[in-house]
Amino acid sequence: MKTMSDMIARLAAFRGSQGAHFPGAGVPDRLTTLTDFGSNPGRLKSRFYLPANLTKGAPLVVVLHGCTQSAAGYDHHAGWSQLADRAGFALLFPEQHHGNNPNLCFNWFRPGDTRRDAGEALSIRQMIEAMIVANGLDRDRIFVTGLSAGGAMASVMLATYPEVFAGGAIIAGLAYGRASTVPEAFDCMRGQGAASKEELWALLREASTHAGPWPRIAIWQGTADHTVAPSNAEDIAAQWRSVHQLDKAPTRSEVLGVRAKHSWCNAAGEAVIELNTISAMGHGTPLGDGLGVPGPYMLEVGISSTREIAQFWGIAQSREEAVACSATAVIHGKLVTLPSPAERTPGIKKVAPAIHATASRRTPPASDGSGVKKIIEDALRAAGLMR
C-alpha cells in the first residue's frame, strides 16, 4: 500500500519532470473550436483544422497533446496543420483542461475515462463522429497519434475502438491498460512492474469485442527518456504483435543515423507495426526536416516524426520511393539479408492484410432534419454514441 507521503512525493516529482511550462498567449493558433459533438461525458474541449484544399472523402488525423500542452501549441510545434495543407487531410485535436487534470494530462490511467463508451474515450469518439459527418471524411482512413499522456490516450482509443482506426502512432506513451491508479501510472512510466506478453494481449483483447482486422501501429521513443522509460515502447510493440499474430523478431531492421527502426510485416508484406527509437533523445516529440518548431518536449533531432508517421499511414507522400517490407536490414549502411518470418518460426501463422479496419464500421443514415447539429446528433445516436 502506497503511503500519502509517497503519493505527494510522486506528484511533486511528476510536476517537476513536466516542467513549469503551461500553454499561454503568443502561440500561433490555426485551429477552430468544435462544438455540439455529443454528450461529452469526459468534459473535454475540441479543436479542429480543415485545409483549404480538403476534398470529400479525405482522411482524418486525431492528435492528442501531452501534459502541460494545448492543442494549438502542439499543432504549432509538431507541424501537423502545415503537413495537412500539403497532403490534404483533416485534423481533430481533443484538448484537456485544468478542471479535469491540473497538469492538462489526458486521464489515460483512470478506469472511468479509458473504457469503451465512457468518459474521455467516448468524448473523443463523439468528436470523431461529428467530424466525419460534418465534413464527409473517409471512415476507412481515421488515424490517431499522441505524445506522452496523449500517447497513452492514443493507446486507449486504439484499444477501445479498434474498428474506428486504420492506424495509430504512440510517441513516448504506454501500452493500454497498464495502470488504473496514480501510483500504478508512475510505476509504469518508470518501467516498473513488467507485464508478460500474455497479460498485454489480454488487456487489449478485453478492451472491445472487435475480432479484427487491426490498426497499423507506429511507436516512437527516445533512449534517454527519463519521464517514460523506453521499456514501455517494447510493451506497446508486444501488445500489438499479439493481435496481429506476429513473431517477436522484426521483419526488417535499419539503423539510420540516430534512429533505429524495426518493422513487423504481415503475410502480404505490409508493415503493420513499426518501432522507432532515437538515440540520446529525451522525453518529447522528434522534430526535424523543416517541419514544426522546437519547444518544451518538442525536440529537434533531425527527424520529423509527424511526416514519418503520416507516410507510414499512407496519407502523405514520401520524398523517396518506398522500400518494400522485405526480410533485410540496413546496419551502418550495409544491407544484410535476414531469414523470413517463416524461416525464423516454422509454421508461423499467416495473417490477412490489416491496413484499413472496416469490418465493424457502420455508416449512420442521413437525417431528414435540417441543420448540421441535428445531422450530427442523429449520426451519434445511430452509432450508439449518444442517447
Residue from 363, 374, 285 nearest 73 by CA: 285
Is residue 148 part of the annotated active site? The answer reads yes
Catalytic residue among 70, 148, 242, 304, which?
Answer: 148
Residue from 358, 379, 316 nearest 139 by CA: 358
- Cα–Cα distance measured from residue 22 to residue 283, given in angstroms and rounded to the nearest whole number: 16
Q: Which residues contact 28 (CB under 8 A, 6 or more apart)?
A: 72, 76
Contact 254, 311 (CB under 8 A): no
Residue ranges per structural domain of the chain: 27-382
Cα dihedral across residues 213, 317, 150, 62: positive or negative: negative
- Cα–Cα distance measured from residue 370 to residue 32, given in angstroms and rounded to the nearest whole number: 23
pLDDT at 179 over 60: yes
User: pLDDT (tens digit, 9 = 90+) per residue, 275-329?
Assistant: 999 999 999 999 999 999 999 999 999 999 999 999 999 999 864 433 446 554 4
User: pLDDT (tens digit, 9 = 90+) per residue, 327-384?
Assistant: 544 444 444 444 443 443 333 333 333 333 333 333 333 444 456 677 777 777 777 7
- Phi/psi class of residue 187: alpha, beta or left (left: φ > 0; alpha: ψ in -120 to 50)? alpha
Q: Which CATH superfamily is domain 27-382 in?
A: Alpha/Beta hydrolase fold, catalytic domain (3.40.50.1820)
For residue 384, what are the CA distances in angstroms to 44, 180, 255?
A: 19, 26, 45
pLDDT at 3 over 70: no
User: pLDDT (tens digit, 9 = 90+) per residue, 47-64?
Assistant: 999 999 899 999 999 999
For residue 4, what are the CA distances in angstroms to 55, 178, 188?
A: 54, 22, 19
C-alpha grid cell for residue 313?
499511414
